[in-house]
A and B are shown apart, each in its own frame.
Chain A
Amino acid sequence: MNWFKYSSPASFYPLAGKLRPWFLGAATILLPLSLYQGFFVAPTDAQQGESYRILFIHVATSMLSMFLYLIMAAWCAFGLVFNTRLSAMMAQAIAPTGAWFTLISLISGSLWGKPTWGTYWVWDARITSELILLFLYLGFIALTQAIDDVRRADRAGALLALVGVINVPIIYFSVRWWNTLHQGASITVTGAPKMAQAMLLALLFMTLACWAYAFATAMQRVRCIILEREGDSGWVADLKRQGAL
């Protein structure tokens, strides 16, 4: 199978259309499953009581906010190096979902902070760097929208995204490098998870649900972007003629 075939918008458009319902279906199944596991199966926490349950949504969205930025930046780098049109479209399709996840992460963290730490907000390294991530997403969206020439917009956005990628390791390691109010990571690549199994399962379901949702929205958005940009090309005209649009 020739994967490069799908780097052309014309052949990726139908593929994205085929993948989207599967991801949407997976998200629809996984979300209630994780909520059920998180609210009814996972036990009460010894220290925080019930308020710890915010972590299922907070950790899942925080993780995705960083991963989606890395994926977006990777598409941008790919686009700059290989001059592929689809790369920039994928980056722009991912950005809004990443921004939403970042916002949910900040809001859920703030709501979790009040009953546990005793404050909605502090300017510690973890929280501040996550806020900068939100600004990077918004800046990327604003910059690419502000420039009329598509190819220039893509390049400017790609540069911004690549410069901003330095923030992701800072967010991740901030709790280790500096004294922060925010606690360390419960789940690491090397160590055993510092969380009871039933809680971990709820978090796993929620994370997978978020991944599936992110893919579904990215596929939907990239289809819109492809149609907008390739509106004058023959294959879009063919689709119109067939009544598929």
Chain B
Amino acid sequence: MKPRHRRMIWIAAGLGALGVATALVLNAFQSNLVFFYTPTQIANGEIPKSKSFRIGGMVEDKSLQRIPNSVGVTFVVTDSAKSVPVRFDGILPDLFKEGRGVVALGHLGADGNFVATDVLAKHDENYMPPEAAEAMRLAGKPIGAPAQFQQAPSAK
């Protein structure tokens, strides 16, 4: 075996070991790498206790309601399996819309309602002119909601 072959094997083995180590670390920190929790995870109690966290999902159709005489709104966040009602006093981002993705920071109230302090819009990865989007909507496949919320998540 020539020295360069030995070096090649060492580097390949080193990278392989590093890959395995990283995979193990990422697996161990899985729950810390999650930016938001889905309504299903909240229903299963997989949320951090007594701490604010983010909820992510799709704004349910026809669920957005303005609270009279205030800037507050209520809406329902769903992942097609479970839903969580959300209340928010503040200004919604421009892309916030029913049927679109949303990520809200806040905490879960005792009544099961999520009280948000910050709301962000999560858009999907489809880009098309308005006419094409209209055609999709008429065909019964409206765009806008990230695909992960459009079908009920499989039970883990």
Give me the interface of A with B, judged by CB distance under 8 Å.
43-48, 52, 55, 77, 80-83, 115-119, 122-125, 162-163, 165-166, 170, 177-181, 183-186, 194-196, 199
A81 interface neighbour in B8, B119, B134, Cβ under 8 Å: B8
Contacting residues, chain B, for A181 (C-beta < 8 A)? 35-36, 56, 103, 120, 122
Query: Known interface pairs A118-B121, A163-B18. Does A194 touch B11 (Cβ–Cβ under 8 Å)?
Result: no
Interface residues on B, range: 35 or more
B26 touching A170, Cβ below 8 Å: yes
A184 touching B35, Cβ below 8 Å: no
Which of B76-134 touch A at CB < 8 Å?
92-96, 100, 103, 119-130, 132-134
Name 11 interchain pairs, CB-CB below 8 A, sorted by A.
A45-B129, A117-B95, A117-B121, A118-B119, A119-B120, A178-B30, A178-B33, A179-B37, A179-B56, A179-B148, A194-B126
Nearest chain A CB to B42 CB, angstrom units: 12
Contacting residues, chain B, for A52 (C-beta < 8 A)? 127
B63 interfacial contact with A, CB 8 Å: no
B143 interfacial contact with A, CB 8 Å: yes
A125 touching B95, Cβ below 8 Å: no
B49 interfacial contact with A, CB 8 Å: no
Considering the complex, give the chain A residue whose CB is closest to the CB of B15.
A162
Query: Known interface pairs A81-B4, A118-B93, A125-B33. Does A46 touch B130 (Cβ–Cβ under 8 Å)?
Result: yes
